[in-house]
Amino acid sequence: MTILTFDIEDWFNTHQNRRHYSGQIWDDLPSKVIENTGRILDLLEKHNKTATFFILGWVAKKHPSLVREIYNKGHEIGSHSYWHHNPHFITPDDFAKDTKLSLDVLQDITGEKIKAYRAPGFNLNLNDNWAFEILAENGIIIDSSVELRKKPENIPVTINTSKHKILEFPLIKSIFGFPYSGGGYFRAMPESWLNYFFKKDDYHLLYFHPRDFDPDMPSTNLFSFFRNSLNRYNTAECIKRLDNILNDYDTITLFEAANFIKG
Ligand SMILES: [Zn+2]
């Protein structure tokens, strides 16, 4: 099972920056999310594939036409929070407010109930019951926010809440302790390693950001030297790498994966 997902955020909407929280200056930075998401949508159209798009509420509020374009092309829409906070750096109350805000924005634009969620940076743990309770209260039934060192026996992992079960599709780390199936690590790894990891297992959660495909990825002193370097590394090649994966693997969306398992 190879699941194709994207986290739609602008190149500066990350939590990995020196000041930790940079939301107050996002409006002043040059946006590249439309241009870079366009590269993703073109590639998916070429392969006639649909995917799950976790969209940051802040991006949706600023660029509602981008959300409509993704939705009208038949892709699944999920929430990637509103402010891209690590859930462990904010209070449960603020997590609840952030989740609701992002869902309200996305639901207003699409007219559809949003039922999938991905936390910024895959920063939930399976035992974060407080967070899954809040997600369930907000109607989330599919989650993809947890990074695991080892593949669990059953995927999706079933998470029980007082409201309903949530199906968790985790990201699995490689033997080196970092993920291989998306983002900076997918770009930075030699292709022979990628091929090895993709052949080795039968479950892959692909995850990319628009910035992964930006051949002119900017840098900023908001980020560490490491973060700037990783953000800029091999972005020009990434579209070709994903193109190869889409040629070689039948990818599915998260809701297709959930139905596949249930069926
Ligand atoms: Zn993100």
Q: How far is the CA of 263 from the centre of ligand 1 (A)?
A: 31
Q: How far is the CA of 9 from the centre of ligand 1 (A)?
A: 6
**b/e for 67-88, b at 16 or more Cβ within 10 A?**
beebbeeebbbbbbbbbbbbbe
Q: For residue 165, what is the enclosing H or E element?
A: strand 165-168
Question: For 111-137, what is the mean pLDDT?
Answer: 97
pLDDT tens track for 31-69: 999 999 999 999 999 999 999 999 999 999 999 999 999
pLDDT tens track for 174-231: 888 889 999 989 999 999 999 999 998 899 999 999 999 999 988 888 788 888 888 8
| Residue span of the structural domain in which 240 resides | 2-262
Q: How far is the CA of 200 from the centre of ligand 1 (A)?
A: 27
CATH code of residue 96: 3.20.20.370
**Residue owning tokens 């909407």:** 13
Domains held by the chain: number? 1
Q: How far is the CA of 196 from the centre of ligand 1 (A)?
A: 26
Q: How far is the CA of 169 from the centre of ligand 1 (A)?
A: 16
Q: How far is the CA of 83 from the centre of ligand 1 (A)?
A: 10
Provide the whole-model pTM. Answer: 0.95
Q: How far is the CA of 253 from the centre of ligand 1 (A)?
A: 18
In this structure, the strands spanning 142-143 and 165-168 are parallel
Question: Of 125, 102, 124, whose CA–CA distance to 53 is shortest?
Answer: 102
Q: How far is the CA of 208 from the centre of ligand 1 (A)?
A: 9
161: exposed, middle or buried (Cβ count in 10 Å: 0-12, 13-18, 19+): middle
